[in-house]
């Protein structure tokens, strides 16, 4: 399950384009360069049920009511570049969501660190005791 080499086939991705804002002057008003990439989790054959559930949990804010993972890119001025960026971001999001974090193994303090801790407490105690005689 911890394999990050998943390849999402192109035929499972639905790419649409829309008009995007930002730089470009009048050209922005007449060209559709914003790329919107949708990937249907329920229809995908690449992942197991557990992996799909993991993605749904980790990327819940990016999944719409139709169980599609949505990624939008409108940084570039050209359709192909935005499409490429959106697909790459979708793949990296999925890979990151499928990465299983390593289990934390709690460690005990070493004998030396316990001794250092006690020494600092004793030293602090001496400092405070030394203040009592000043009044």
Report the C-alpha gap between 98 and 127 in whole angstroms.
54
Q: Classify residue 110: in a domain, yes or no.
A: no
pLDDT digits (tens, 9 = 90+) for 28-75: 777 888 899 998 888 888 888 888 888 889 888 988 888 888 999 888
* pLDDT score of 1 more than 60: no
Instruction: Write down the pLDDT at residue 12.
Output: 83
Q: What is the pTM of this model?
A: 0.67
Give the CATH number of the domain where residue 16 resides.
3.30.160.20
pLDDT digits (tens, 9 = 90+) for 58-68: 888 988 888 88
pLDDT digits (tens, 9 = 90+) for 77-129: 888 899 999 999 998 998 888 888 899 999 999 999 999 999 999 999 999 99
Report the C-alpha gap between 41 and 50 in whole angstroms.
12
Q: Classify residue 88: in a domain, yes or no.
A: yes
Element (H, E) at 13: strand 13-18
The arithmetic mean of pLDDT across residues 7-34, rounded, is 79
- How many domains would you assign to the chain? 1
Q: What is the domain extent for residue 55?
A: 10-98
Contacts of 78 (CB under 8 A, 6+ apart): 33
């Amino acid at each position: 399950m911890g394999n990050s080499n998943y390849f999402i086939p192109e035929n499972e991705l639905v790419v649409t384009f829309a008009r995007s804002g930002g730089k470009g002057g009048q050209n922005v008003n007449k060209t559709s360069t914003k790329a919107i990439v949708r990937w249907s989790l329920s229809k995908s054959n690449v992942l197991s049920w557990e992996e799909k559930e993991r993605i749904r949990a980790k990327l819940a804010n990016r999944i719409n009511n139709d169980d599609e993972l949505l990624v939008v890119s409108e940084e570039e001025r050209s359709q192909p570049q935005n499409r490429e960026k959106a697909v790459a971001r979708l793949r990296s999001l999925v890979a990151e969501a499928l990465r299983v974090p390593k289990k934390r193994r709690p460690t005990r303090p070493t004998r030396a660190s316990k001794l250092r801790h006690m020494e600092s407490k004793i030293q602090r105690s001496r400092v405070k005791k030394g203040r009592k005689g000043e009044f």
